[in-house]
Structures are given as C-alpha cells and as structure tokens.
Amino acid sequence: AQSVTQPDIHITVSEGASLELRCNYSYGATPYLFWYVQSPGQGLQLLLKYFSGDTLVQGIKGFEAEFKRSQSSFNLRKPSVHWSDAAEYFCAVSSGNTPLVFGKGTRLSVIA
C-alpha cells in the first residue's frame, strides 16, 4: 500500500532563510508526487507536482522539489522564506488514477 511520511511535524525558520521540508514515500511503481499548501481554515492549493521527466520540478511561489528514486524522497525547498509562507504543507502520492495518499503535514512557522 502507498504511504507518505513527513518526519517533521513543525518547523520554524527565520524570514529570508532557506527551507527544506522532507517527504518520503512508499510505492512500488513510479509514483505521481505532489506538494500542497494549506492556510488555516482553507482548502489545499497545489504547489507543484512530479509525474515523469526532469526530477527537479519548479512550482508556484518560488518553491521547488526534487524526486530522488533511490531515496524514495520528494523534498520541498525554497531558497528564501517569506512571512506569507507560514502554513501547513502536505506531501501526497498516487499512481495517477488512484486516490491521493497524504502525509500528516508539516506546519511551517516564520519568525522575523
């Protein structure tokens, strides 16, 4: 069965610092991988996705993620965090037409 692990429940970074959120997945075939962001009390917004091809994918709001098959990872990065990036971030995996399986999320706090 598919599963997603986000090891960090809560991360605090200073504004302007770099960010990396970790995601590890368990899936037999080539996965479809996603990162979503959620502001409090809101739905989820897609940041970026990986289906195939170039393993470094660019998303919205200056985020990027790298698919590493050997490590079963899909970590999210941003070179310089803004206060507006404070939110909850979810990694998810599917096979394409199967329901998404989500990690438990990482809450990001940004301090001045």
Partner 1 sequence: DGGITQSPKYLFRKEGQNVTLSCEQNLNHDAMYWYRQDPGQGLRLIYYSQIVNDFQKGDIAEGYSVSREKKESFPLTVTSAQKNPTAFYLCASVHFGTGELGANVLTFGAGSRLTVL
CB of 34 to partner 1, least distance (A): 7
Residues 6+ away with beta carbon under 8 Å from 64: 48, 56, 57, 58, 76, 77, 78
DSSP letter, residue 1? -
CB of 57 to partner 1, least distance (A): 13
Q: Would you say 28 or 40 has its CB closer to partner 1?
A: 40
Alpha carbons 88 and 44: distance in angstroms, whole number: 9
Candidates 16-24, 37-45, 55-63, 73-81 — which segment interacts with partner 1 by CB under 8 A? 37-45
* Encoded amino acid at 10, one letter: H
Binding mask 39-78 for partner 1 (x = CB under 8 A): --xxxxxx--x-x---------------------------
φ/ψ (deg, to 5) at 71: -105, 0
Binding residues for partner 1 (CB under 8 A): 9, 32, 34, 36, 41-46, 49, 51, 90, 94, 96-97, 99-105
